[in-house]
Structure 1
């Protein structure tokens, strides 16, 4: 079962819709200014009449503006949360040089975690410099998955094996568990 990344999909859809609305509004206003669109005269009033709207309308508009501004600020802050930067590790001596991509170093650990019972998917990033690396794991578990057993396997087997392969004594690790959405039952 695959887990959907709903926040990223929603983010893309909202950005696309906002961009399309802005493009349409820009095209309309440009068309009116250049007198290509004749449905509206360039000097005409935006709304009929010259009276102010009732006070409650102004409050609703101000409240909506505050909500939209808050959502925009929250979205901007979410963009700052980035995965840690990973760099290529270099090992060398008099006989030659070896380069190790952190993704290649973590791939066997991720394959092992994906094979555990109750794990739907696993992603990870080995970041930091060679002397002080950190490992960030995101594990998507099925509804039947047991995070305690998965964490125990990581601590007792998988992470010691990775530390030994990388020849490092300490590897600070963060593990984030996500749960896959249950597939809807089929009606026959």
Structure 2
């Protein structure tokens, strides 16, 4: 939900900035602009001569303004690229043996990997996500361990069973994984 709202607001901000930029270009080119627009003539400027020269005696002012605007542009571009980047792998290329290959949905492999990891003894809950390239995916697995579970045993069974099955079923040479483990925390109960 939050991701959708973020993208809608990004789109609306982009449309508004495009409209304002287009209106500034239209006024600068001498085309007709709305009567309420503050710059209607080709000779109009954003900053008057008095405002530009207000800080003329301070040699640090304009380099600071330009540096701050450059940092703002770089941060905005970084944020925009972060919005376009996918957090999950949509599909995995599976070698079918006939030279063609097949596409496996990333969510399907994630679900199977998480379900098989949850079936391991000592694991209360598991979550898996795939990232990387579709020919060389990598997994991130989060395990919620029961209080009696041994983390080393859970990790060795996860790599020997769940990750090995996922790697073999997708026909991958390797399936590197980052595994994060936490223990279940139980609250104290009042006995009456």
TM-score (norm 2): 0.48
Higher relative contact order (CA 8 A, sep 6+): 1
- Larger gyration radius, structure 1 or structure 2: 2
